[in-house]
Structure formats: C-alpha cells, structure tokens
Structure 1
Amino acid sequence: MSITPQETDLFSLLEHRYSVRGFTDQVIEKTVLQEIFQKSQQAPSNCNTQPWQAYVISGERCRQFAKSLAEAIVGGAPSKPDFDVTLGFFDEYRQRQVDCAYALYGSMGIERGDKAGRGAAMLRNYDFFGAPHVAFIAMPKSFGIVNALDVGIYLQTLNLVMESYGVGSCIQGALAYYPDLVRKELGLPEDDSMQILCGISFGYEDKNHAANNTRTVRADLGENVSFYE
C-alpha cells in the first residue's frame, strides 16, 4: 500500500513530532523512501553547497548491521569519532540534559542507580532502537562549523518530512562514535573524505514500546530568545 504525506501544517508537525525509540519491523516502501529523501533535498544551504551525504541502510541488512555493531561495541571496539564529541554541558544546559534522561529512563522504569539498565538502554542506540532503517549523515572532513549548520538544517527538514509521511525517527549523536565500523559496512575506504556526523534511526513507531511515552518540555521563550527594539 502506497503511503502519501499527511495533510497537515508545519506547526502541527513541530508540535506532534518527538524522538521515537521503538519501531515495528515494517519496512518503508522503496518509492516512499526515495520520496522522503528527495523532498528533503529542498533544505537550504550556504551558497547552495548541499554539503550533506546520507547513507541509508534498510531491511535485513540494517538489522544485521545493528547486531554486528552492538556486538563489536560490547566486545570492546574502540570509539574513534571523526570529530571532537566533547559535550561540555553546564548550568541550564546540563539541567536540561538531566531532565531529558529522567524522562526517558523514567518512561522505561529504569531507576537512577540501575547501571545495568542504563547501560542496556544506551546500547539500544546501536540496535537503532529496532528500526528497519538507519541513515548515517556525513559531510566532507575539510568542512567546518558553517557547513555543519547546513547539515543541521537538512536533518530538521528530513525529520519533518518523515513526520509528514507518518514515519517516526530519532536523530542520534551516538551513531557518530564508531565511524570506522560504519565505513567498513558501507565499503568505504578508511581514509574516506567524508566524516560521519550522526545517524538517524527511522521507521514506523511501535506504539506499545515504553520509551515512546517519553515527552520533554521546551524552555520559556525568554530563556532562548532576546528581542531588541
């Protein structure tokens, strides 16, 4: 059955979208998958450079890679990201991170002191939360922050296009931590010119998965925006 975008407006998409961390095994039709990524090409970028590169893995290959990736990480594979992933959160930014973790782990019934439970929840990132699709997002290694902003705009566009098709997704910084394993799966050379910035797991939401009950709140406008007259 063919899927078409929902008749909805941008504000509804923004209001109802949330990160999905539990998926059914239903694969998105190839034509729909191509439509989603084609429409996302409309994202703006500096001088129209379109610096993003998306590597999409689907179906059984996606699930097999998830299995091998998780096994490699549990087995002690070294984390060698292509860029500095130090977060350095502080003050209100740190508090928002903590609040997000409380919301997520709380929805799954994982207590603060449950190290094993939290470790298992973290490892689910590398199982792509059971999703039948994953996309790794990259840009040339020679590019910097200005181009990374363009990739961020692309990611938001992709995110909202997926939402308009009824496709759930979760953008994951954690999927940038093992780029060598990703390049090996994709058949790319170790010295490939692209750096892996993040990944996005996506598919149809499993409404019964506890993690999908997680909701976060946004700061009051005055905390993020200043108006000058």
Structure 2
Amino acid sequence: MTDKPARSISALDAVTSRRSVRRFLPDTVSDRTVYDLLDAAARAPSGQNMQPWLVHVVTGETRATLCREVSAAVERGERTDEYPYFPQQIREPYLSRRRKIGFDLFEIYGIGREDMAGRRQALLRNFEFFGAPVGLFFTMERDWGMGAWIDCAMLMTNVMTLAPAFGLRTCPQQAWCEYGPVVHRVLDIPDSHVIISGMALGYADAQARENRLTTDRVPAAQFVTRHI
C-alpha cells in the first residue's frame, strides 16, 4: 500500500476500469491519502467556481456507530428518504437494467430469487460500507439549485476516477440517503444540509467474486441523437 499516487494510470483506463467494489480489505487508509485524493478531486468544475460541495470523512468509532445505528433503523423499517432518487414508476428500459444488475449480483452471492432473507442480508452490507474502513458523505446546503447537484456529482466522479491512482477503490452508496435522519444525527449534519450520497473507500479485496461483476453499458449509438 502506498500514499503516493501512481501517475501512470491513463484517464481512459481510470474511467473504463471503474467498478463498484462490494468487498474491501480492512487495511487502514491514511488520512494523508484521503486528503490528497480529495484535494485532487476538488479540481472538478463548478459553476462560477463556487464549489458548493462538503465532504464528511467517517472512520473508526464514528463509522462503527453509524453502521450500527443505520442497520438498526433498517431492521425497524424506519426508512425516510433524504430526497426522491427514482420516479414513482420506473419504466422500461430502466426497469430491466435495474433488475439485471440485481439478479447478477444475487447470483454471485449465491442468493436465489425467492430468498428474501438472503437479499436482506445483502442489502445490509451496504450499511457496513462493504467492509471499507473509510466512508465518505457528500453534502451541500439545501438552498442550492440544481446546478450545484451537477457540481457535486462531478466531484464524486473525480473521487471514483482518481482513487485507483492511490491504489484505492470505491462504491457510491446513495442507499445511506434512505435513512437520512440517522446519518444527520450521528454525523451532526444540520438539517439545512442535504446528504447527496455516501461512498465506501478502501482497498479492494481482489479475491472477492462480487468485485468481478462488470455491468453492461448501452453503446453511444443508442443514446445519442445527432444534429447536423
């Protein structure tokens, strides 16, 4: 493990090799590495350079408390979404894409389609950061307009793209926003701020089967409209 970025990784490789890692090693990530990564990611563009993003880095006892409290809220059925992520009715082709990634992942885990208990346990692994020692939470003040959401998304993309240069991998986790009040309370995030997403950060377990999952992408020819 190294704190220094491996600058030999090409931008093309960094983007095309990005994966959502769902099993991490317990190895500690140094504070210096986390801050160096975030310093580099903060080169993300933002409207008029206002940089509306805020990041909460969660480790150690606070991480353990957060995992325990949110998992307990899940068991009690206390879901309260921070904001709507999907439309109320998910239509095609999006529904099929969503189902495919779910079924593919459950197959890797060895969970049958009718195994609801197994599915629930798989869900709960989200709230352990999939074993990653570092959790990141991206927030901003609620009164920002939609443009600021784009800015924050570009910061998140930079974090995920740059992480391999530090030997690290990530998993973006909007699932934490389904239990926003608990995250606000444990991390002392004021209600005037919105939690955009969580993210697991750490060293990937190269032996884990779930980390070999590669999701499909629609080719550009299917989502591009050419104007001549």
TM over 0.5: yes
Corresponding position of 1:81: 81
Letter in 1 for 2:112: E
Displacement after TM superposition at 1:58 (Å): 1.5
Q: Which moved more, 1:61-70 or 1:172-181?
A: 61-70
1:125 aligns with 2:118: no
Displacement after TM superposition at 1:219 (Å): 0.7
1:84-112 alpha-carbon deviations (Å, 9 max, x no partner): 23444311111111111122112111111
Corresponding position of 2:16: 15
Percent pairwise identity: 27
Quote the Cα distance in structure 2 between the aligned partners of 1:73 and 1:102.
22
Quote the Cα distance in structure 2 between the aligned partners of 1:197 and 1:128.
16
Quote the Cα distance in structure 2 between the aligned partners of 1:81 and 1:50.
25
SS in 2 for 1:134: strand
Quote the Cα distance in structure 2 between the aligned partners of 1:108 and 1:154.
31
Letter in 2 for 1:147: A
- CA RMSD, Structure 1 to Structure 2 (Å): 1.6
TM-score of the pair, normalised by structure 2: 0.92
Give yes or no for contact 1:63–1:130 (8 Å, CA) kept in 2: no
Displacement after TM superposition at 1:60 (Å): 4.1
Quote the Cα distance in structure 2 between the aligned partners of 1:74 and 1:28.
30
Give yes or no for contact 2:2–2:166 (8 Å, CA) kept in 1: no
Quote the Cα distance in structure 2 between the aligned partners of 1:96 and 1:105.
14
Counterpart mapping for 1:143-222 below 5 A: 143-189=144-190, 192-222=191-221
Quote the Cα distance in structure 2 between the aligned partners of 1:216 and 1:84.
24
TM-score of the pair, normalised by structure 1: 0.92
Listed as ranges, the gaps of 5+ residues in structure 2 are none
Give yes or no for contact 1:27–1:58 (8 Å, CA) kept in 2: no
Displacement after TM superposition at 1:113 (Å): 1.2
Letter in 1 for 2:66: F
Displacement after TM superposition at 1:65 (Å): 2.3
Corresponding position of 2:104: 103
Aligned residues: 226
